[in-house]
């Protein structure tokens, strides 16, 4: 590819991103405007001093864990590899894996920018009932729970299949003084519906585990009946595999989804029964 084509593509990408970010905030919908404000705040890193202090504490914990050589044995109920094509029964049976805590923390956890986006979404949208699928060592949950604590209301339930990881995450929450979050241990297939039933109407869901096409579509269907009139669903790793890309395309074009935003590796949907038409935005970040 010539240098001129490269520059033109980069310019075009930047233009589409800015234009879609502008459109997102100007379609007359309150939630859409809130999403735009959250994205802008995350991109600029605009935080109050109180927010800076809280985020710094989480990032110090991340830095410590990233260096840890402690061996952790965990059961993996996920899709494992992009092209593994495991059958549902194989994933459900799980597999024992041993890694260092440092490796798990670095590979499984969402990087700071994406955690900050979740944090800003929760600060702006002010949800009461939040659910996370996939706790790992608790970093994205710590950001979300901190946002809820600073909001002064709301709670998060995070679901995790590996008991060993749930223990590490729970210790981290205690260390950070977070009491707006709890963990439910077990396979999503066994825990999700019970948690949704207990926590309905759910305002905010972060789906960050079991990145399998059919499992993701099944979780989407399971979640929908328990959502509040206006709710946000955030899907991680929508480009991780061809299957995940298909799952995201199917969710984003579902008639029940009113706003779908493709952020690149993360996809966000708004279910808003007051909106008559559906809209799609492409705002690749990082
Ligand atoms: C990508 S990690 C979550 C990272 C975390 N959200 C963060 O950013 O800090 C995904 C987690 O989901 C869990 N998981 C995957 N498939 C699961 C399933 N079917 N049931 C329960 N947990 C599952 C894994 O054990 C893993 O800890």
Alpha carbon of 58 to ligand 1 centroid (Å): 19
Task: Give the model confidence (pLDDT) of 234-279 as tens digits.
Answer: 999 999 999 999 999 999 999 999 999 999 999 999 998 788 889 9
Minimum-distance ligand 1 atom for the alpha carbon of 236 = 1
Q: How many CB atoms lie within 10 A of CB 75?
A: 15
Q: What is the Cα 266 distance to its own chain's centre?
A: 7
Structure tokens at 155: 């709670």
Alpha carbon of 6 to ligand 1 centroid (Å): 37
Q: Which of 190, 209, 214, 234 to mutate to test the pocket of ligand 1 (most atoms within 8 A of CB)?
A: 209
Q: Quote the pLDDT of residue 84.
A: 78
Alpha carbon of 18 to ligand 1 centroid (Å): 32
> In the block, which residue shows the tokens 């993360």?
266
With a Cβ cut-off of 6 Å, ligand 1 is lined by 76-78, 108-110, 134, 136, 139-140, 160-162, 165, 187-188, 208-210
* DSSP codes of every residue in the chain: --HHHHHHHHHHHHHHHHHHHHHHHTSS-HHHHHHHHHHHHHHHT---HHHHHHHHHHHHHHHHHHT---EEEEEE-S--STT----HHHHHH-EEEEEEHHHHHHHHSPPHHHHHHHHHHHHHH--SEEEEE--TTSHHHHHHHHHHHHHTS-EEEEEES-HHHHHHHHHHHHHTT--SEEEEES-HHHHHHHHHHHHPSEEEEEE-S---HHHHHHHHHHHGGGEEEEEEEEEE-TTSSHHHHHHHHHHHT-TT-SEEEE-SSEEEEEEETT--S-EEEE----
Alpha carbon of 145 to ligand 1 centroid (Å): 17
Q: Which of 72, 94, 108, 187 to mutate to test the pocket of ligand 1 (most atoms within 8 A of CB)?
A: 108
Task: Give the model confidence (pLDDT) of 139-177 as tens digits.
Answer: 999 999 999 999 999 999 999 999 999 999 999 999 999
Pick the CATH number of 3-59+106-282 from 3.40.50.2300, 3.10.20.600, 3.40.50.300, 3.40.50.150: 3.40.50.150
Q: Quote the pLDDT of residue 236.
A: 98
- Give burial (CB, 10 Å; 0-12/13-18/19+) of 112: middle
Structure tokens at 196: 């949704």
Q: Which of 65, 82, 134, 194 to mutate to test the pocket of ligand 1 (most atoms within 8 A of CB)?
A: 134
* Residue bearing the CA closest to ligand 1, atom 20: 187
Length of the chain: 286
Phi and psi, residue 46, nearest 5°: -80, 115
Minimum-distance ligand 1 atom for the alpha carbon of 162 = 25
Taken in order 179, 181, 184, 190, the sign of the CA dihedral is positive
Structure tokens at 84: 């593994």
Partnered with residue 279 across adjacent β-strands are 259
Q: Quote the pLDDT of residue 1.
A: 67
Minimum-distance ligand 1 atom for the alpha carbon of 215 = 19
**Structural contact between residues 13 and 284, judged by C-beta atoms closer than 8 angstroms:** yes
Residue segments in the chain with a per-residue pLDDT below the cut of 50: none
Question: In whole angstroms, what is the distance from residue 105 CA to residue 67 CA?
Answer: 9
Q: Please choose, from the candidates 74, 53, 48, the residue with its C-alpha nearest in 3D space to the C-alpha of residue 166.
A: 74
Q: Quote the pLDDT of residue 57.
A: 98
Question: In whole angstroms, what is the distance from residue 154 CA to residue 204 CA?
Answer: 10
> In the block, which residue shows the tokens 């949950």?
141
Phi-psi region of 184 (alpha: psi -120 to 50; beta: other; left: phi over 0): beta
Q: Please choose, from the candidates 124, 120, 125, 123, the residue with its C-alpha nearest in 3D space to the C-alpha of residue 272.
A: 125
């Amino acid at each position: 590819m010539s240098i001129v084509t490269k520059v033109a593509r980069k310019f075009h990408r930047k233009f589409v991103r800015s234009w879609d970010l502008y459109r997102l905030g100007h379609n007359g919908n309150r939630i859409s405007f809130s999403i735009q404000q959250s994205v802008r705040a995350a991109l600029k890193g605009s935080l109050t001093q109180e927010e800076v202090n809280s985020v710094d504490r989480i990032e110090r914990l991340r830095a410590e864990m990233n260096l840890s050589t402690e061996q952790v044995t965990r059961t993996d109920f996920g899709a494992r590899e992009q092209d593994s094509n495991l059958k549902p029964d194989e994933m459900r049976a799980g597999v024992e894996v041993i890694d260092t805590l440092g490796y798990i923390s670095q590979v499984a956890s969402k990087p700071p920018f994406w955690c900050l986006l979740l944090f800003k979404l929760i600060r702006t949208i002010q949800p009461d009932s939040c659910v996370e699928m996939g706790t790992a060592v608790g970093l994205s949950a710590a950001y979300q729970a901190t946002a809820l604590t600073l909001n002064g209301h709301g709670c998060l339930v995070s679901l995790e299949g590996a008991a060993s990881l749930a223990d590490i995450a729970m210790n981290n929450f205690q260390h950070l003084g977070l009491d707006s979050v709890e963990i439910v241990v077990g396979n999503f297939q066994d825990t999700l519906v019970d948690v949704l039933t207990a926590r309905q109407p759910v305002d905010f869901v972060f789906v960050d585990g079991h990145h399998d096409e059919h499992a993701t579509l099944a979780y989407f269907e399971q979640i929908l009946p328990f959502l509040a009139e206006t709710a946000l669903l955030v899907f991680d790793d929508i480009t991780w595999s061809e299957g995940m890309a298909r799952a995201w395309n199917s969710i984003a074009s579902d008639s029940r989804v009113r706003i779908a935003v493709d952020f690149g590796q993360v996809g966000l949907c708004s279910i808003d029964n007051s909106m008559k038409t559906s809209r799609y935005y492409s705002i690749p970040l990082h």
